[in-house]
């Protein structure tokens, strides 16, 4: 179990930095601090390794969001909590966040497997939105696009922040993303509601 975890970390590191295709199994092994053969003792191959990583990572992210959302019944509070969880998770797992964006659309064949994993995450987002719509707080939405919009908005901004390596004021970032998503560019500033 020890080694398997080392491999997990090494793989996230390597894939996040170089991208799945450009990172070699040698690099993964080196960063994991294990011999190359050990990689193949624990994982069938490179492909299975990335799938495991994505499943694990998205699962954790999804759980973090679920937990945060469970704290309140208020739709707006839920969206804020969800975005807060996303930002916090990304901040604690910068490597994985890069890997996620780099790999999620990378390969047509893998697409199928990833999409399934991602779908469960999207379903969670959809659930939050539906709750708010049902309560009459959110506008009705074309639900085939809504989770993608949320995901795209939040993820791409976060990635930008991570890639620029700047130490970010998390609080401020969450505020921005929440306001933007909730009220758009035209809406009131949530910090100073009239």
Contact set with a copy of itself (CB under 8 A): 17-19, 21-22, 76, 79, 98, 101-102, 105-108, 111, 129, 132, 137-142, 145-146, 148-149, 151-157, 159-161, 163, 172-173, 176-177, 179-189
Does 73 help bind DNA (rule: CB under 7 A)?
no
CA distance 191 to 184: 14
Residue 142 interface partner, choices a copy of itself, DNA, none, CB cut-off 5-8 Å depending on type:
a copy of itself
- The number of angstroms, rounded, from the C-alpha of 103 to the middle of its chain's C-alpha atoms is 12
Long-range contacts of 41-47 (CB under 8 A, 24+ apart): 42/3, 42/4, 42/7, 43/7, 46/20, 47/110
Region from 22-30, 98-106, 133-141, 169-177 binding DNA, contact rule CB under 7 A: 22-30
Does 120 help bind DNA (rule: CB under 7 A)?
no
Does 5 help bind DNA (rule: CB under 7 A)?
no
CA distance 7 to 28: 7
Residue 112 interface partner, choices DNA, a copy of itself, none, CB cut-off 5-8 Å depending on type:
none
Report yes or no: 85 and 64 within 8 Å, Cβ to Cβ.
yes
**Nearest one of 51, 56, 46 to 26, comparing CA atoms:** 46
Region from 18-26, 57-65, 87-95, 156-164 binding DNA, contact rule CB under 7 A: 18-26
Which 32-71 positions form the footprint of DNA (CB under 7 A)? 34-42, 45-47
Region from 17-25, 79-87, 89-97, 186-194 binding DNA, contact rule CB under 7 A: 17-25
CA distance 171 to 80: 11
Phi, psi for 19 (deg, rounded to 5): 90, 155
Residues that bind DNA (CB under 7 A): 1-4, 22-26, 34-42, 45-47
């Amino acid at each position: 179990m020890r080694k398997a975890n080392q491999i997990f970390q090494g793989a996230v590191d390597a894939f996040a930095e170089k991208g799945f295709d450009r990172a070699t199994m040698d690099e993964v092994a080196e960063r994991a601090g294990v011999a190359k053969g050990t990689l193949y003792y624990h994982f069938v191959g490179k492909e299975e390794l990335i799938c495991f990583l994505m499943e694990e990572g998205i699962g954790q992210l999804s759980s973090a969001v679920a937990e945060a959302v469970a704290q309140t019944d208020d739709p707006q509070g839920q969206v804020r909590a969800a975005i807060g969880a996303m930002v916090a998770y990304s901040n604690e797992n910068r490597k994985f966040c890069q890997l996620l964006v780099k790999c999620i659309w990378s390969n047509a064949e893998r697409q199928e497997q990833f999409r399934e994993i991602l779908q469960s995450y999207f379903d969670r987002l959809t659930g939050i939105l539906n709750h708010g719509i049902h309560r009459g707080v959110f506008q009705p939405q074309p639900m085939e696009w809504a989770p993608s919009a949320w995901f795209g908005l939040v993820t791409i901004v976060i990635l930008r922040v991570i890639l620029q390596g700047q130490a970010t004021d998390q609080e401020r970032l969450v505020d921005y993303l929440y306001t933007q998503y909730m009220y758009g560019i035209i809406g009131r500033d949530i910090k100073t509601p009239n």
